[in-house]
């Protein structure tokens, strides 16, 4: 994420810019950050995740969103675009911005990994509705699943290898790494 030259941007200015731009931007504390595009592996992993969630959630009151869905952390003011977002129950929007994700998945790149696992994850942990955060590697077959337990977040499960299947309790699904990494050679 790289800072734009504006010294301070209001939320309204950010939303107007972001809605008109062909690029996606994150916003925090008056600063706008351009988001980098994804690699072919990143995009394929995201598509596989979405396909799996849509298949498993069919007929249930859950909705899967791609990386084009903006999410706002009301508690911290971060506006961001998770790689995949799932909402179970009624989604709550402020305009076109989702406020109540149940689960978010990030597929960090080498350049964004520190931010995604650090500051961004700290913002996610403060989202009241959020129950699980999953990090999926794009350079090797690996996944980590963090869950909310009361006021704490813990690393509940992790795995390496295509034979790993992780439960996603917040949305009642299983995450098969064979499906996540289908047709991806690493």
Query: Backbone phi, then psi, for 3, in 5-degree steps?
Result: -70, 140
Prediction pTM value: 0.92
Structural domains of the chain, ranges and CATH numbers in brackets: 1-35 (no CATH), 38-180 (3.90.1570.10)
How does strand 173-176 pair with strand 2-3? unpaired
Per-residue confidence in pLDDT tens, the chain, 186 aa? 554 455 789 999 999 999 999 999 999 989 998 887 788 999 999 999 999 999 999 999 999 999 999 999 877 889 999 999 999 999 999 999 999 999 999 999 888 899 999 999 999 999 999 999 999 999 999 999 999 999 899 999 999 999 999 999 999 999 999 999 999 998
Q: CA-based diameter of the chain, in Å?
A: 48
- Which residues fall within 8 angstroms of residue 38, CB to CB, at 6 or more apart? 46, 67, 107, 109
* Cβ 138 vs Cβ 39: under 8 Å: yes
């Amino acid at each position: 994420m790289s800072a734009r030259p504006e010294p301070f941007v209001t939320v309204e200015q950010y939303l107007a810019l972001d809605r008109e731009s062909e690029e996606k931007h994150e916003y925090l504390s008056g600063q706008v950050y351009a988001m980098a595009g994804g690699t072919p592996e990143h995009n394929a992993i995201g598509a596989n995740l979405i396909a799996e969630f849509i298949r498993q959630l069919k007929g249930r009151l859950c909705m899967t969103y791609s990386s084009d869905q903006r999410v706002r952390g009301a508690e911290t003011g971060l506006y961001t675009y998770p790689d995949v977002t799932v909402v179970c129950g009624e989604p709550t929007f402020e305009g076109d911005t989702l406020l109540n994700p149940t689960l978010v998945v990030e597929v960090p790149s080498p350049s964004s990994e520190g931010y995604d696992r650090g500051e961004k994850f700290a913002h996610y942990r403060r989202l009241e509705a959020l129950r699980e955060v999953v990090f999926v590697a794009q350079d090797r077959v690996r996944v980590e699943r963090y869950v909310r337990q009361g006021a704490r977040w813990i690393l509940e499960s992790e795995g390496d290898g295509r034979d790993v299947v992780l439960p996603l309790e917040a949305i009642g699904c299983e995450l098969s790494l064979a499906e996540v990494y289908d047709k991806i050679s690493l």
